[in-house]
Amino acid sequence: MVEKKTLTIMLASAPLGSQYADHMCRVALRALEKGHEVEIFLYGDAVHAQMNHQSPKLFFPVGEKLKELVVKGAKVYSCEICSVARGYISGQLTPDGKKDYSSTKVLDGIQFTTIFGFVESLARADKVLSFGGG
């Protein structure tokens, strides 16, 4: 029985353009299967991994794997500003004072936050990994 720890992961590269998203999904999945908590933060072009209805017939199915990660207990956070910039959400304030994160373009289970939310995730983490970017 392993001691349950928290792994925080930043993905900073888009799916399909490189294998960083593929590697991240596989590593995160094994961490969950070994009993650890996993928190993932999609940043920059990596927010494209949250796109609904991806159909990469010949490539690693990042969207399907993200859905599987959510179902298995991973918390998947997406950068709000990066997502607004790429047209996934409006992020506008609603009449009740909350931000509008509704979208038909985004996989179920994705949560939106800012870079400050990522800092909070870092504070909860026992270990941190980053994939891509640069």
Partner 1 sequence: MKSCVLLMKLPCTEGESWRIGEAIRAKGDSLFLLGDAVAICRKEYRGHAASIVSSVLSKGAKVNASARDLRARGIEASELPEGVKVIEDIEGDFIDVTMDQADRVIAW
90 binds partner 1 per the rule CB under 8 A:
no
Q: Which stretch binds partner 1 (CB under 8 A): 20-28, 46-54, 72-80, 100-108?
A: 20-28
Q: Is 9 helix (H, G, I), strand (E, B) or coil?
A: strand
Phi, psi torsion values for 58, nearest 5 degrees:
-105, 5
Q: Is 52 exposed, middle or buried (0-12, 13-18, 19+ CB in 10 A)?
A: middle
Q: Which of 27, 61, 91, 117 binds partner 1 (CB under 8 A)?
A: 27
Q: Could you tell me if 31 and 66 are in contact, meaning their C-beta atoms sit under 8 angstroms apart? A: no
Q: Which of 14, 15, 31, 65 binds partner 1 (CB under 8 A)?
A: 31
Q: Which residues bind partner 1 (CB under 8 A)?
A: 2-3, 5, 7, 18-20, 22-23, 26-27, 29-31, 33-34, 36, 126-131, 134
